[in-house]
Structure 1
Amino acid sequence: MLKERVVTAILLLGGLLGAVFLLPAAGWVVLCAAVCAAAAWEWGGLARFEYPLRMSTAVVFGIVCAMLGFLAGLGRGEPAGAVLLIPLYGISALFWAFVVPFWLARKWTFTRPLLASLVGFVVLIPTALALMQLRALGPWVLLGTMAVVWVADIAAYFSGRAFGRHKLAPSISPGKTWEGAVGAVLAVLLFGFGVLVALGADHAGGAPAIAAALIAWTALSVVGDLFESLLKRQAGLKDSGALLPGHGGILDRIDSLTSTLPLVALATLWLAR
């Protein structure tokens, strides 16, 4: 199992790096739309859609995602056009900051397909568009953004295994602990400030704000992880899919990105004003 997991991770990383650095902008938009469609298929499984609705959701999400990406100019590698996406990013930010915490606390369930589809749209479409936009700003911008989430996930896993005693959300994800969350925050702070030092950026005056942003970033990544864990538990599934041996499905790999990438994309647009 561990060997399978490691091999899949290496192949995924190699494929990601190749796509990020080698694909033309239009090709990257199409790839992100395809990933969105695959994730939407898995979302339909979590929402317990019947096959026709599940398939149509995947197709519609993929097409809408591609259309929005090209409409925003991301198919030409022009990130300035992404200002058209601000409303979508704003809705995503409000959803993750104000709706999901209540959702996790009250353990709401999907009772209507329309609601499940709308929530899936808010979760998946902005994430795919953020992948397009951040890559248009530069491959290293996208990889650096994703690396923060990867550092948080890895640190949470190992610090939780080593020191975990107090459960973070036992009824949702019994394996997650407060010690793991603290380890994730510390690792992200070290990583974030380490990158700034390596780049020679003058961050002394803004250190408190940067630290607060990194902590919030880490907290949101945990929220995204917990949200998908709740949906899987309610659907009676261990993984969102079986596409990635040893890792589960697409949603299992991007759960923490769904809650963070759209907000980072929104912040880049805001700072560029």
Structure 2
Amino acid sequence: MLKQRVLTALVMAALFLSAMALLPLPGLALFFAAAVALGAWEWAPLADWRSPVGRVLFVLLNLGLLAGLYVYCDLGARPQRAQVQPVLGLACLWWSFLMLWVKGYPSSALLWRSFAARTVMGMLVMGFAWVAAVYLLSFPRGGILMVCMVLIVAAADIGAYFAGKRFGKHKLAAAVSPAKTWEGFWGGMASVVLLALLFWYLLPPAMAHISLTAVIAVTVATALASVVGDLTVSMVKRESGVKDSGSLLPGHGGVLDRLDSICGAAPVFALGLLLAGW
């Protein structure tokens, strides 16, 4: 199982890095849209789009939203901050609501249990993340920034795993994900602070005006959002009575099981960079 999990992770990393290196921005937008389509296919039954036709319709709804956001934010050219920042701000506000729903689960399910609410929830979770990812890639060092964001998410996850396994006693969100602990959470945050120190040390001279405080703030906020993303998808799966969103990725479950943390992290990371003066 571990060998299969590692092999799948290596293949995914190779595809991701190859896309970063070889594809132009429109191609990358399509690449990530394909990932969203796979995630939407897996979210569909979580929102009660259970028939094959229903799942296809839900995927098309998501792709339609991406097309609308692509045009509205002018992502095909050189996206302007004035167009994208309000969308990123709305995304961060949306994740604030989701954090409250996670904290209040299972009582909060009264607010989002309906077919319509879970449909909108899935579309916004993935749609906002897609906009943030494509916008990041329009930056002069967009590929490096995307890799940095993935490293933040990975550091938070790995740090939480080992700290939780060694010290974990107090449940972080027992009703949503019983295996996660506060000790693991703080271990993950400690890991991303160390990563932030490395990021700041490696900043190019042109970015010397960005303070260590800003780098730590963006990194920690991104890691926090990744935790909320993970818990949000876990909450919806628990309400739907399923363990994994799918089985497309051997050893990892579904695509959505790998995208959940990224979906939470991407808008916060992108907005944080703008506010930090990148």
Alignment-mate amino acid for residue 146 of structure 2: L
Instruction: Give the whole-Å Cα distance in 2 for the aligned partners of 1:146 and 1:126.
Output: 16
CA contact (8 A) 2:221 2:268 kept: no
- In the alignment, which residue of structure 2 is the partner of 1:53? 54
Quote the residue 1:129 is aligned against: 131
Q: How does 1:188-199 map to 2 (within 5 A)?
A: 188-199=192-203
Residues 23-55 of structure 1: CA distance to partner in whole angstroms, max 9, x if unpaired?
122211111111111111111122222323322
RMSD of aligned C-alpha atoms? Answer: 2.4
What is aligned with 1:39?
39
Deviation at 1:11?
Answer: 0.2
1:239 maps to which of 231, 241, 244: 244
Distance 2:221 2:275 in 1: 17
Q: Which runs of 5+ in 2 are unaligned?
A: none
State percent identity of aligned pairs: 35
CA–CA distance in 1 between the matches of 2:168 and 2:113? 35
Distance 1:20 1:83, change over 3 A: farther
Residue in structure 1 matched with residue 63 of structure 2 by the alignment: 62
101-110 or 225-234, which moves further after superposition? Answer: 101-110
Contact 1:36 1:65 in 2 (8 A): no
In structure 2, what is the equivalent of residue 186 of structure 1? 190
SS across alignment from 2:48: coil
1:151 to partner: Cα distance: 0.9
State the TM-score, normalizing by the size of structure 2. 0.88
User: Contact conserved, 1:33 with 1:66, CA < 8 A, in 2?
Assistant: no
Q: Distance in 2 between matches of 1:246 and 1:166?
A: 27
Change (3 A) 1:215 1:266: closer
Aligned residues: 271
- 1:267 matched to 2:272: yes
SS in 2 for 1:239: coil
**Aligned position for 1:225:** 230
Structure 1 residue 205: Cα displacement: 8.9
1:156-190: CA deviation from partner (whole Å, max 9, x where unpaired): 11121122122211221111111111111111000
C-alpha offsets along residues 46-71 of structure 1, whole Å, 9 cap, x if unaligned? 22223233221111212331453355
Q: Secondary structure at the match of 1:260?
A: helix
How far the C-alpha of 1:117 sits from its partner, in A, is: 1.8
Deviation at 1:200, TM superposition (A): 5.8
1:149 corresponding residue in structure 2: 153
CA 1:272–1:211 in structure 2 vs 1: closer, same or farther (change >3 Å)? closer
Residue number in structure 2 paired with 1:112: 114
Indicate the SS of the match to 1:74: coil
- 2-structure distance, mates of 1:5, 1:41: 22
Q: What is the rounded CA distance, in whole Å, between the counterparts of 2:23 and 2:91 in structure 1? A: 27
